[in-house]
Amino acid sequence: MAFPKDGDEGIFYVLLVRKVKVAFSFLFLITVAGTAGYHFLEGWSLTNSFYATIVTLGTVGFGDFYPVTSGGKVFAIFIIVFGVGTMAYTFAVIMETFMEGRLRKILGRGKLEKRIEKMKNHYIICGCGKIGRLICVELAHEKVEFVIVENNPEVIQAIEDNEFAYINGSAAEDKTLLAAGIKRAKGVICALPTDADNLYVVLAARELNPEIYILSRFEDNASERRLINAGADRVISPYRVGGMRMSQAILRPAMLDFIEITTRGESLALRMEEVDVCKDSPIVGKNLEESGLRKTYGLIVVAIKKESGQMVFNPMASYVIESGDKLITLGEEENLVKFSGICQV
């Protein structure tokens, strides 16, 4: 894992790289000088001269090549004094680099664990494949806290590059889910490649936290019922959703464009959001007209999901808002944020 390159850590990284370059530069010069010196002073071949230099720097001393002339002996003393010191310094710099890298990785892991321990009402993403990556990008865009559970080294490297919080382990193990903070989490998203793996995670997650919201992907139609029976609140087939969207792009392209514009957040002029109404909200007990939702905020209520799960589509102005209602509203993002603040007082 690369060293961070900003602030004080960035300065340290630059100095450390410079020390490594200087050490290897001196070692290279000593090696070249030693080879040339032995070649010209003792008359050895370049191969034997290079071999004798390396043996001297390594303090091995086989004795098969040694200087016999006075000039060669003085030169050997020079190589021993300066060359062996340079070799030791280079080795020390390499060890320092290795140890600092390990230390920083350990410290970085400690910071990550503390970051995860502070999380509350976050989401746990089990599996960071194609589907998992898309989910992470969307959650990060919406500034929603999440922890990824993954054990593929290549995927973990990509996760680290994006500075996402993660746990290196199997989502099928209870200790991994506990380390990801499942007791404090708001939801678990099972995006593992096989239905069997997702089924096991659903069972484990429901056992560890009976109140947690569980969303799982599935591929085989027979797995849909099993996942729900195991405790998943909602299951989604990426292939089914993708097929439906592609068919809508052919049959009802204008409607699909409207849905994408209002749900993907690409337009600041129009946005569709789900707003939760808490029990202390001042709009509880008022009807939609009295809430000022349309007149004050310019919002349209497309549907309302009641706490019982019942859906009320295109509600009348006389509909009385209750605690626990989820209002599916459509309007400008700024007004949606203001109205959401009132609903969640």
Residue 306 belongs to a domain with what CATH number?
3.30.70.1450
Residues 132 and 236 in one domain: yes
> Which pLDDT value is given to residue 6?
40
Q: Is residue 38 part of a domain?
A: yes
Residuewise pLDDT in 10s, the chain (345 residues): 333 444 444 455 556 667 778 878 888 888 888 888 888 888 888 888 888 888 888 777 666 767 778 887 888 888 888 777 787 877 777 776 666 555 555 545 667 778 888 899 999 999 998 899 999 998 998 889 999 999 888 888 888 888 888 888 888 889 999 999 999 999 999 999 999 999 999 999 999 999 999 999 998 888 999 999 999 999 999 888 888 888 888 888 887 777 776 666 555 567 788 888 888 888 888 888 888 888 888 888 888 888 888 888 888 888 998 888 888 888 887 888 888 887 776
Neighbours of 274 (CB within 10 A): 11
Listed residues 242, 276, 295: the one ending a domain: 242
Range of the structural domain that residue 89 is part of: 7-116
Residues 129 and 155 in one domain: yes
Listed residues 116, 137, 160: the one ending a domain: 116
pTM to 2 decimals?
0.59
Q: Is residue 73 part of a domain?
A: yes
Residues 66 and 107 in one domain: yes
Q: Is residue 259 part of a domain?
A: no
> Which pLDDT value is given to residue 96?
67
Number of domains in the chain: 3
Residues 284 and 193 in one domain: no
Domain containing 137 — which CATH number? 3.40.50.720
Domain containing 85 — which CATH number? 1.10.287.70
